[in-house]
């Protein structure tokens, strides 16, 4: 089980290299979908069945989503790879907060943008990821 951020990022980089050896990850963060994690925790175990865990990476060529294991925090199958020039228009409602930041991303095949919740532990990566994808800094 990966616990250290650097270990998780290395595992994601290896998964990307298997898919496209010529691409290089720039920044990766771990995210949880669904409503606010505060609300999800308040509802309890039932709410956990409806959230999904992802690793989101911006590479030199694309924005890549991998499913993340709930218990192992390892990257699993590829969910989507969106060319970088298309990805900027798919990001909206970026909110940087003290403990849980969030943004919305329109994943292919989804009827509406998916809310991605990012824990404080990954906020520095989010602060790098948003400008790399959108070209705009996050408002504090």
pLDDT digits 0-9 by tens, 58-87? 999 999 999 998 888 899 999 999 999 999
Calculate the alpha carbon distances from 130 to 27, 72, 91, 104, 109 in Å: 10, 26, 8, 11, 22
| Cα radius of gyration rounded to whole Å, the chain | 14
Distance CA 11, CA 26 (A): 14
Q: What angle do CA 93, 97, 101 make, to 5 degrees?
A: 55
Q: What is the pLDDT of residue 138?
A: 79
The residue behind tokens 């709930």 is 70
43 vs 51 pLDDT, higher one: 51
65 vs 37 pLDDT, higher one: 65
Confidence of residue 37 (pLDDT cuts 50, 70, 90): low
């Amino acid at each position: 089980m990966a616990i250290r951020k650097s270990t998780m990022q290395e595992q994601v980089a290896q998964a990307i290299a298997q898919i496209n050896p010529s691409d290089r990850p720039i920044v990766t963060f771990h995210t949880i979908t669904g409503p606010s994690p505060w609300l999800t925790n308040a509802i309890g175990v039932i709410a956990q069945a409806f959230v999904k865990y992802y690793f989101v990476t911006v590479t030199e060529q694309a924005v890549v989503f991998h499913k993340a294991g709930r218990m192992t925090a390892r990257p699993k199958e590829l969910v989507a790879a969106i060319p970088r020039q298309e990805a900027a228009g798919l990001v909206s409602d970026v909110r940087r907060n003290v403990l849980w930041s969030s943004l919305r991303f329109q994943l292919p095949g989804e009827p509406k943008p998916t809310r991605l919740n990012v824990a404080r532990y990954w906020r520095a990566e989010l602060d790098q990821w948003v400008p790399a994808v959108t070209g705009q800094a996050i408002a504090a």
